[in-house]
């Protein structure tokens, strides 16, 4: 079993894929294959795989394929999906989903899943678009990113703006503070922020 297949099996067992009963059988960056047994609780009447279950099956494969191609720390979510149904999946049989990429970009990926019956008949064709989500930054990382790439003058100008923004926050807090002593402390803090900004702007 490949490392990628093991990764999908571990992830799927504890998530919605496990609830559906999806069995991953092949996993590479260019191709994900899985099976789904059509049991009664996944069916509509009369003993036919529910369209929503089939779409969820395909969606899981597209998301899995994307996850195998993501840069470290990135995530994904489905932003569009289109399904064409051609034939029913019957209770008591298994269907196979074969998912391959149509596009693998930096911000989106597009995957197509062919769902076939045990006899190889095409049951559905699903095309979905996955967004590539950048890692969430901590507050410190977000602040550092604001200064990245700026020269010393640009960093001073940005820091001055932040100081003035801080002063405005202190002033708003002071305006809403009923206690005179606390209000004065907030205003003092605002004045310090303004003084810092002015110092930076004179440099």
- Of 109, 133, 157, the one marking the end of a domain is 133
- Establish how many alpha carbons lie within 13 A of residue 129's alpha carbon, considering only the half-sphere containing its beta carbon: 8
What pLDDT, on a 0 to 100 scale, did the predictor assign at position 157?
93
Q: Which stretches of 98-147 are DSSP H helices?
A: 139-147
Looking at the structure of the chain, the number of domains it has is: 2
What pLDDT, on a 0 to 100 scale, did the predictor assign at position 137?
77
At which residue do the structure tokens 């009447």 appear?
Answer: 45
Q: Are residues 144 and 65 in the same domain?
A: no
Q: What is the CATH number of the domain that holds 17?
A: 3.10.129.10
- Of 91, 107, 133, the one marking the end of a domain is 133
What pLDDT, on a 0 to 100 scale, did the predictor assign at position 1?
59
What pLDDT, on a 0 to 100 scale, did the predictor assign at position 105?
96
Q: Are residues 64 and 148 in the same domain?
A: no
- How far, in Å, are 71, 137, 171, 188 from residue 36 at the CA level? 29, 37, 61, 66
Beta strand segments in 11-169, E: 22-28, 31-37, 43-44, 48-49, 75-85, 94-104, 108-116, 122-133
Q: Are residues 18 and 111 in the same domain?
A: yes
Helices 180-202 and 152-175 pack at an angle, to 10 degrees, of: 160
Q: What digits encode the pLDDT tens for the residues 79-103?
A: 999 999 999 999 999 999 999 999 9
Q: Are residues 88 and 37 in the same domain?
A: yes
Q: Are residues 45 and 143 in the same domain?
A: no
- Of 85, 108, 133, the one marking the end of a domain is 133
- Establish how many alpha carbons lie within 13 A of residue 139's alpha carbon, considering only the half-sphere containing its beta carbon: 0
Query: What tokens appear for 68 in the block?
Result: 């195998």
- Predicted TM-score (pTM) above 0.75: no
Can you tell me the distance from the alpha carbon of 114 to that of 68, in angstroms, rounded to the nearest whole number? 19
Q: Are residues 27 and 42 in the same domain?
A: yes
User: pLDDT below 50 — which residues of the chain?
Assistant: none
**Neighbouring residues of 124: CB distance < 8 A, sequence distance ≥ 6:** 54, 58, 83, 84, 85, 86, 113, 114, 115
């Amino acid at each position: 079993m490949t490392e990628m297949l093991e990764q999908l099996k571990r992830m799927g067992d504890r998530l919605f894929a496990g609830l559906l009963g999806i069995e991953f059988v092949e996993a590479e960056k260019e191709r994900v294959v899985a099976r789904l047994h059509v049991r009664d609780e996944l069916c509509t009447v009369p003993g036919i795989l529910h369209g929503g279950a089939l779409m969820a099956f395909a969606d899981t494969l597209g998301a899995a394929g994307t996850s195998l191609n993501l840069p470290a720390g990135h995530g994904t979510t489905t932003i569009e999906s289109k399904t064409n149904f051609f034939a029913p999946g019957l209770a008591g049989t298994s269907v196979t989903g074969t998912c391959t990429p149509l596009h693998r970009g930096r911000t989106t990926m597009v995957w197509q899943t062919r769902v076939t019956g045990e006899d190889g008949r095409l049951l559905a064709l699903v095309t979905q678009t996955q967004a590539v989500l950048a890692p969430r930054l901590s507050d410190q990382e977000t602040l550092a990113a604001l200064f990245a790439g700026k020269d010393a003058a640009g960093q001073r100008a940005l820091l001055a703006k932040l100081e003035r923004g801080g002063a405005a926050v202190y002033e708003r807090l002071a305006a809403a503070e009923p206690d005179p002593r606390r209000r004065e402390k907030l205003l003092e803090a605002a004045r310090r922020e303004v003084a810092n900004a002015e110092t930076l702007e004179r440099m």
